[in-house]
Structure 1
């Protein structure tokens, strides 16, 4: 087990990790501060080396392959322990050196030119709409919800999110609205049911584009809302309002200047944009090697310092900034509950390894928002300082108006699936 055991002694400062190695020997690490109590069995001796040299990648792969198992504890316990001790892992000399190398390769890891960007999106989003129906809300929103109460269902919290974003767009009848990375369409469809607007959504996912247009037709909105399989960089129209939810994470640092230059080009002179994106409160870093390889190739959640530089260079005003902190942890907890309720169906559609990969992904991401450095930010952008009211009260007032409009127009959040009413999982 050496040098893995040496690293684990330095790593586990909160909680206790008991490792049963491939020969059946027991090694105990930590216990200095309260935290999760985890028992992990390693069945492959090659893990001693790979967990030492690249723990984030190797741990995910070992769990996927069944070479890492937990006894009397769970994957959630392990990932909680990993998350609360993450800073001590980053201070280990070898890991510091590897992170420095990874940061040097950052621009190559996050390259998303036209063409390759669509390949990266297809890797994750074109694996089948039926799969995503198994754990998302009924509107299929694959981004952070907004919980105004712990009693909110996932459907209610997602509609809260739509309403919050809509209030920051300061919509007026007759405006043209663009959604960059429109997902399965619910953002624009919600806006179009509130206001008489013309709207265009662009996505690089064939599956999302097809279903979004079907939803627009079913709601009788196809004459005002259309969805296109198109890279936002190919657009030449100008829009009064632009919204982008959960797409900026796929842009890549090397393309930030290109992104905000295009936003400036697409906005009318008095236009407004609302950017909803994952970020983090720590300095610039790199994406998890496991997430980059298996889940989101080319993706990265930025530090705000990496974003502001390019906003400033493209002559855009930041007219409002808001942070959603624990909301994504709550969202992911709901997704995990729904995923586990449908795990047998997922195994039938794919296989056991796929199930374990998605369990690792969903729970590890929840921990990033619950005990790690991840957050969600809303950045409102404009070309002029007075494109929106200078007193922020309008955001709250508009949300209250939209609650009334939703009731009048029958835009209530749908009922959740019967299996989806469970509360958030208890934390260790």
Structure 2
């Protein structure tokens, strides 16, 4: 047993107290973790470098090992293994265990000194509609849904979310709605169709603007709502209600002030606004290296304290804050299932086997993180009028 393999198994045995897993390697099977518990998942290790990659690079190494076929899941699901690691706070426990931390450091230094370059080379795909159609619902809504029941379909999750946002904003017929970062226009269409609003969505994606307006035309709403290709920094006009879903986490922090100041300037005197964003409840904003390299380069996890500070500075009063992160688990499970069912239909020249495994690993992370990480999905409702009537109960 080499140093990396020995250290990895020691970490599991010493620090996994809530659950266990089975490893199959070199023709042998062993159980690690809390051995009195039945293994949640079985991993078959195909290449010993798996251990060095994970110890050296954490989730980035794990993801690249999965893409390269260094291991496979024989029983259970990959996201169950990831949840087990997150739930047991392995990274924190290792940092607090000097003996184990020193062994991990030796593995990391050994990789650097040997010149090991076990990185999967990033491929720059123009991620087209075909990929997202393989796992999203018909509205192409790419954000956390809302479960009224664990059995809700993906369509129901997204419809629940859209309707709940509209009710939080207290939308009324004839009101003007601005949707910042509107995607393909799903929220705008729902709000116009069911609440009688007119409005504008803005996006900096040419494809989102084109398809969003096509969707609006098919819904027979072209005279009431539209999607414009423009940046948040160009917001002008006056709106009764403003919403932004899944936008803030993609802005650099230096843009937060301008983002919230534009919202404050555009919101009517008695208006309501809602920001929905992936965030963190941790004191420091730790960027997952796998997500940063391969999925959302430059993205961040917003802290609630940052949102509150900027709203306060713009004179916007917080009316309600809700963390709906657990609902992301149900949403992502549907995404993962649909992707697994449909990925064979993707053009192999554009989305090769390695890319499909990379995207599948990402979706497994999305299923695991809402259950056991410090991640959050905040919905922050605010108003321009401190004295505006406030309902006794949240939606």
TM-score, L = length of structure 2: 0.83
Match of 1:371 in 2: 372
Alpha-carbon contact 1:347-1:354 (below 8 Å) kept: no
Q: Which moved more, 1:76-85 or 1:272-281?
A: 76-85
Which residue among 79, 90, 93 is the counterpart of 2:92? Answer: 90
Q: Give per-residue Cα distances to partners, 1:202-238, cap 9 Å, x unaligned.
A: 1122222111100111122112211122111122223
CA distance in 2, matches of 1:138, 1:13: 42
The 3-state SS of whatever aligns with 2:147 is: coil
Q: Tell me what 2:358 maps to.
A: 357
Shift of 1:25: 7.0
Report SS of the residue matched to 1:136.
Answer: coil
Q: Would the alpha carbon gap of residues 267 and 375 (structure 1) be closer, same or farther in structure 2, given more than 3 Å must change?
A: same
Which residue of structure 1 aligns with residue 114 of structure 2? none
Q: Give the one of 48, 51, 55 matched to 2:54.
A: 51
For 2:283 and 2:141, the matched residues in 1 are separated by: 29
What are structure 2's unaligned runs of at least 5 residues?
102-123
Shift of 1:161: 1.1
Alpha-carbon distance, 1:386 to partner: 3.1
Q: How does 1:228-377 map to 2 (within 5 A)?
A: 228-346=228-346, 348=348, 350-377=351-378
Query: Contact 1:233/1:262 (CA < 8 Å) preserved in 2?
Result: yes
Instruction: Give the conservation status (yes or no) of the 8 Å contact 2:31–2:39.
Output: no
CA distance in 2, matches of 1:321, 1:9: 41
SS of the counterpart of 1:380?
A: strand
Q: CA deviation at 1:70?
A: 2.9
Range with bigger deviation, 26-35 or 326-335: 26-35
Query: Residue 22 of structure 2 contacts residue 39 of structure 2 at CA under 8 Å; is this kept in 1?
Result: no
How far is the alpha carbon of 1:336 from its aligned partner?
1.4
**Deviation of 1:367 (Å):** 0.9
Displaced runs of 4 or more, over 6 A: 23-27, 94-97
Per-residue CA deviations over 1:123-147 (Å, capped at 9, x if unaligned) read 78x6121322222112111111112
d(CA) in 1 for partners of 2:152 and 2:71?
Answer: 36
What secondary structure sits across from 2:244 in the alignment?
A: strand
SS at match of 1:71: strand
Structure 2 contact 130–346 (Cα < 8 Å) conserved: no
Query: Cα distance 1:38–1:146, how it changes in 2: closer, same or farther (>3 A)?
Result: closer
| Structure 1 spans left out of the alignment, 5+ residues | 98-122, 397-428
Match of 1:133 in 2: 133
In structure 1, the partner of 2:80 is 77
In the alignment, the residues of structure 2 paired with residue 67 and residue 153 of structure 1 have an alpha-carbon distance, to the nearest angstrom, of 34
Q: Residue 293 of structure 1 aligns to a residue in which SS?
A: helix
Q: Aligned partners of 1:261, 1:8: CA distance in 2, in Å?
A: 51
Q: Which residue of 2 aligns with 1:66?
A: 69
For 1:206 and 1:131, the matched residues in 2 are separated by 17
In 2, Cα distance between equivalents of 1:377 and 1:129: 27
In structure 2, what is the equivalent of residue 13 of structure 1? Answer: 17
Structure 1 residue 347: deviation in Å? 6.3
Residue 24 of structure 1: how far off its partner (Å) = 6.2
Aligned counterparts of 1:252 and 1:5: Cα–Cα separation in 2: 40
Partner of 1:119: none
* Aligned mates of 1:285, 1:237 — CA distance in 2: 34
Alpha-carbon contact 1:178-1:201 (below 8 Å) kept: yes
Q: How many residues align?
A: 366
Alignment partner, residue 43 of structure 2? 40
**What's 2:115 paired with?**
none
C-alpha distance in structure 2 between counterparts of 1:255 and 1:149, whole Å: 37
CA distance in 1 between counterparts of 2:46 and 2:78 reads 16
- The offset of 1:73, in angstroms, is 4.5
| 2:79/2:367 contact within 8 Å kept | no
Which piece of structure 1 moves more, 42-51 or 205-214? 42-51
Contact 1:14 1:36 in 2 (8 A): no
Write the distance in 1 (CA, Å) between the matches of 2:24 and 2:149. 42
Q: Structure 1's 28 and 207: CA in aligned 2 closer, same or farther, altered over 3 A?
A: same
Tell me, in whole angstroms, the C-alpha distance in 2 between the residues paired with 1:245 and 1:27.
45
Change (3 A) 1:255 1:24: farther
Distance 1:359 1:19 in 2: 21
Cα gap change, 1:39 to 1:196, in 2 (>3 Å): closer
Q: Compute the TM-score of the two structures, normalised by the length of structure 1.
A: 0.77
